[in-house]
């Protein structure tokens, strides 16, 4: 059974909406996703949630690489052993 949903209408100036939509798109979120996430965190934490930020250049590059690898079904490691060895090697960096 699916949960019943309600429409939520908010007013925000056009410039803020445009800028927020762009920033959220870089995070992979729609405006509706962000509002739902915000409200879920309020419910769960019973507090105002922490701010989400646009990823820095290094994180954006890693996200792009990950998406490309998933699309092409590429794995950086041939086994779990290789993965854990790499994690162990790089964990002190």
pLDDT digits (tens, 9 = 90+) for 19-72: 999 999 999 999 999 999 999 999 999 988 877 788 899 999 999 999 999 999
pLDDT at 84 over 80: yes
Quick one: which of 36, 31, 8 has its CA closest to 20?
A: 31
pLDDT at 93 over 80: no
Residues 20 and 40 in one domain: yes
Does a structural domain hold residue 8?
Answer: no
**Please, which residues have CB within 8 angstroms of residue 74's CB and are 6 or more apart in sequence?**
68
The predicted model scores a pTM of 0.54
Q: How many domains does the chain have?
A: 2
Does a structural domain hold residue 9?
Answer: no
Does a structural domain hold residue 6?
Answer: no
Does a structural domain hold residue 2?
Answer: no
Domain span holding position 39: 14-45
Q: With contact defined as beta carbons under 8 Å apart, do 55 and 63 qualify?
A: yes
Does a structural domain hold residue 74?
Answer: yes
pLDDT attached to residue 56: 93
Averaged pLDDT for residues 70-76: 91
Does a structural domain hold residue 51?
Answer: no
Does a structural domain hold residue 70?
Answer: yes
């Amino acid at each position: 059974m699916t949960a019943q949903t309600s429409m939520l209408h908010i007013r925000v100036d056009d410039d803020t909406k445009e800028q927020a939509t762009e920033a959220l798109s870089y995070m992979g979120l729609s405006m509706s996703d962000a509002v739902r996430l915000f409200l879920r965190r309020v419910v769960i934490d019973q507090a105002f949630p922490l701010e989400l930020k646009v990823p820095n250049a290094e994180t954006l590059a890693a996200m792009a690489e990950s998406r490309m690898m998933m699309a092409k079904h590429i794995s950086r490691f041939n086994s779990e052993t290789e993965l854990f060895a790499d994690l162990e090697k790089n964990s002190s960096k």
